[in-house]
């Protein structure tokens, strides 16, 4: 399992690293020349007891070379290269920051529920399976609690 890390939304990142973002919110390009865009597709899965159902969601990141924080400062949760061997930054070590650009509207599946598209059928099936899983988990924990009470 991956270690827990702080999660920041785009507005929080804009405040923490304002030099990377343009001043106008309408602009979609990053200011920094040392940035590359990356995209990954992840899946959120649930289980209804009989089958596993998964929905894909897209995430877009900017991977930026951070020259400002390479000196002696660090933004918690953004230092990607481990320094546990020395306990401090190695001279001339490059620090890269992964900044998520995706926001809540980029994977808006709830809008699909209003249509009869194949995506809406998959989403309804996923949500129904998730309700079944939740009910089964609640039932399981209720039985476990009752077993503990009887002891």
Tens-digit pLDDT profile for residues 6-32: 555 667 666 766 655 555 554 455 656
CA proximity to 95, closest of 128, 73, 125, 126: 73
| 49 within 8 A of 98, measured Cβ to Cβ | no
Cα distance between residue 26 and residue 113, in whole Å: 28
* pLDDT tens per residue across span 64-106: 777 655 444 444 444 444 444 445 555 666 777 777 777 777 7
**Is the confidence at residue 42, as pLDDT, over 70?**
yes
Q: For the chain, what is the mean pLDDT?
A: 70
Specify the pTM: 0.50
Residue 133's φ and ψ, nearest 5 degrees, are -60, -45
Report the distance separating Cα 73 and Cα 151, nearest Å.
Answer: 55
Per-domain residue ranges of the chain: 1-104, 108-151
When comparing pLDDT for 58 and 27, which is higher?
58
CA distance 111 to 70: 42
């Amino acid at each position: 399992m991956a270690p827990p890390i702080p999660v920041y939304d785009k507005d929080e990142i804009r405040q923490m690293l304002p030099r990377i973002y343009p001043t106008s919110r309408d602009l979609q390009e990053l200011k920094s020349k040392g940035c590359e865009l990356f995209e990954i597709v992840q899946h959120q899965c649930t289980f209804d007891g009989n089958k596993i159902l998964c929905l894909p969601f897209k995430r877009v990141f900017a991977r930026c070379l951070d020259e400002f924080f390479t000196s002696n400062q660090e933004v918690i949760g953004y230092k990607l290269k481990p320094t546990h061997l020395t306990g401090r930054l190695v001279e001339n070590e490059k620090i890269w920051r992964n900044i998520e650009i995706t926001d809540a509207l980029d994977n808006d599946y709830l809008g699909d529920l209003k249509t009869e598209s194949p995506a809406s059928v998959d989403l309804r099936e996923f949500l129904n399976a998730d309700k079944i899983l939740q009910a089964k988990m609640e039932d399981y924990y209720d039985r476990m609690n009752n077993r503990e009470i009887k002891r």
